[in-house]
């Protein structure tokens, strides 16, 4: 049974600073020479990029809906065997969603460090902390950390408000300089933050001062994780090269997806359409999601890339395009200012950005190649005469995202989680 110190960083709501604190903890321990594995609850892409930069190794998703309990069990067991510390960042409020972050913490026995933004409260802090600790009696609870605290006096007031026996993990000061920049889908991608390393170092410094002489100054107690092993994956893509777009426009890639492709035997070749790199010689192409709307003028000028992609599909070779990757395949992309930009023209119609969220949540897709789960989160919508070849299904059984297929081209707003069905992935990218 693998054993490793572990903490689940949670909060009563979104926007409390979970990502900042988790990244700071990861950097603080990593620079002390410890090997830190970070997990992110939910199907997020952006927070894991920050955690990977903070810890020095890939951050994996932990989600009972999209990923499944078995996937989480073996990844946690592997992490416990190979690391000195496991950190799990929760999603939204700890009890929000079905399943919730609390469900994950309970299932795997990871103690919860409740982080509460205290910038607009005093003694009520203790009531919120008590509610988080006791709302579900079987929740493993480590203690509480205050964020956005005005000063030492405020911190003392917050600590005094806690019920007897509740562990105090310290207070972080209100400091805008240590916050991470955000846009409409969440944080900036790690590669877009030029001073990210300096920010992480400052965060770690602030956290070290805040945690001095508290229970969080050293490693948390060890957690026993059940023994579990990665499933065997036959190398059905052996000998095949998959070209993967990866840059500021196409950056939403689960590390677990890359692991799955490698386990299937594929050779992975990364290239940047945004930088003007040619489509490499390959057997299949993957255009992940990202921010094509922010780079639409530049992408519109990449006529050679779009022509090569058309020729690739016309030759009967596979192309998987997810969300932002699909948006470039239509004839045009209309940005939120209403400007239209010519795109690849592999699909009829255009995609348009809008101010309100168009879709959010886990969905399941029954492909001829197999059933696979995924997630959708986008502000764009498609105006197209094309009829969907398939439709994904939401957890309640209602219709989800449209799936467009033309030859070996498969496109939708859905981000697929490849480990959910390696056989389906092999079918999508295979000969």
| pLDDT at residue 200 is higher than 70 | yes
Take residue 395 and report the two structure tokens written for it: 């957890």
Task: Specify the DSSP class assigned to residue 418.
Answer: G
Q: How far is CA 409 from CA 19, 126, 189, 347, in A?
A: 36, 55, 27, 10
Exposed / middle / buried, residue 347 (Cβ in 10 Å: 0-12, 13-18, 19+): buried
Domains 3-224 and 241-429 share a fold: yes
Question: How much is the average pLDDT of 217-232?
Answer: 91
Alpha-carbon span 26 to 163, nearest angstrom:
28
Please tell me the predicted confidence (pLDDT) of residue 178. Answer: 53
Asked if residue 87 lies in contact with residue 39, where contact means CB atoms within 8 angstroms, the answer is yes
pLDDT digits (tens, 9 = 90+) for 359-387: 899 999 999 989 999 999 999 999 999 99
Q: Give the pTM.
A: 0.93
Q: How far is CA 392 from CA 148, 363, 365, 416, in A?
A: 41, 6, 5, 11
Q: What SS3 class is residue 16?
A: coil
Count of residues making up the chain:
431
What residues act catalytically?
Answer: 323
Alpha-carbon span 187 to 83, nearest angstrom:
27
The more confidently predicted of residues 348 and 1 is: 348
Return the percentage of the chain with pLDDT > 70, whole number. Answer: 95
Overall fold of domain 3-224: Rossmann fold (3.40.50)
Residue 13's contacts (CB-CB under 8 Å, 6 or more residues apart) are: 92, 93, 96
In the chain, where the domains are located: 3-224, 241-429
Q: Which CATH architecture has domain 241-429?
A: 3-Layer(aba) Sandwich (3.40)
The whole-chain average pLDDT of the chain stands at 93
Please tell me the predicted confidence (pLDDT) of residue 204. Answer: 87
| pLDDT at residue 237 is higher than 60 | yes
Q: How far is CA 295 from CA 162, 271, 280, in A?
A: 49, 16, 21
Q: Answer whether the bond into residue 99 is a cis peptide, omega within 30°.
A: yes
Please tell me the predicted confidence (pLDDT) of residue 216. Answer: 62
Question: How much is the average pLDDT of 286-308?
Answer: 96
Residue 177's pLDDT band (cuts 50, 70, 90): very low
Task: Specify the DSSP class assigned to residue 96.
Answer: -
pLDDT digits (tens, 9 = 90+) for 20-57: 999 999 999 999 999 999 999 999 998 999 999 999 99
């Amino acid at each position: 049974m693998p054993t490793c110190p572990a903490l689940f960083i949670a909060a009563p709501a979104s926007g409390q600073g979970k990502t900042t604190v988790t990244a700071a903890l990861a950097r603080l321990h990593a620079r002390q020479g410890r090997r830190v594995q970070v997990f992110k609850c939910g199907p997020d892409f952006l927070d894991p990029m920050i955690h990977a930069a903070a810890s020095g190794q890939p951050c994996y998703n932990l989600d009972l809906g999209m990923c499944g309990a078995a996937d989480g069990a073996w990844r946690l067991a592997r992490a416990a065997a190979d690391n000195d510390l496991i950190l799990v960042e929760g999603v939204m409020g700890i009890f929000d969603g079905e399943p919730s972050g609390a469900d994950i913490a309970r299932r795997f026995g990871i103690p919860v460090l409740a982080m509460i933004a205290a910038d607009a409260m005093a003694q009520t802090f203790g009531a919120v902390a008590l509610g988080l600790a006791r709302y579900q009696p079987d929740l493993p609870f480590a203690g509480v950390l205050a964020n956005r605290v005005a000063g030492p006096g405020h911190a003392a007031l917050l600590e005094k408000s806690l019920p007897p026996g509740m562990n105090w993990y310290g207070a972080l000061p209100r400091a805008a300089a240590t916050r991470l920049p955000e846009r409409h889908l969440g944080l900036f991608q790690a590669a877009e933050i030029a001073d990210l390393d300096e920010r992480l170092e400052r965060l770690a410094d602030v956290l070290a001062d805040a945690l001095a002489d508290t229970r969080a100054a050293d490693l948390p107690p060890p957690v026993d994780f059940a023994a579990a092993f990665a499933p065997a994956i036959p190398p059905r893509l052996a000998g095949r090269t998959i070209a993967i777009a990866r840059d500021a426009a196409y950056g939403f890639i689960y590390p677990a997806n890359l692991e799955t492709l490698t386990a299937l035997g594929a050779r992975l070749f990364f290239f940047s359409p945004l930088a003007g790199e040619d489509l490499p010689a390959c057997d299949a192409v993957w255009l992940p999601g990202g921010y094509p709307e922010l780079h639409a003028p530049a992408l519109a000028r990449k006529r050679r890339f779009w022509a090569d992609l058309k020729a690739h599909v016309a030759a009967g070779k596979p192309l998987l395009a997810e969300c932002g990757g699909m948006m470039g395949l239509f004839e045009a992309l209309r940005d939120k200012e209403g400007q239209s930009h010519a795109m690849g023209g592999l699909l009829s119609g255009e995609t348009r950005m809008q101010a309100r969220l168009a879709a959010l949540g886990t969905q399941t897709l029954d492909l001829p190649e197999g059933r696979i789960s995924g997630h959708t989160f986008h502000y764009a919508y498609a105006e197209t005469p094309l009829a969907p070849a398939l439709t994904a299904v939401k957890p309640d059984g209602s219709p989800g995202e449209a799936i467009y297929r033309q030859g070996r081209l498969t496109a939708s707003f859905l981000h697929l989680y490849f480990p959910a069905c390696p056989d389906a992935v092999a079918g999508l990218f295979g000969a």
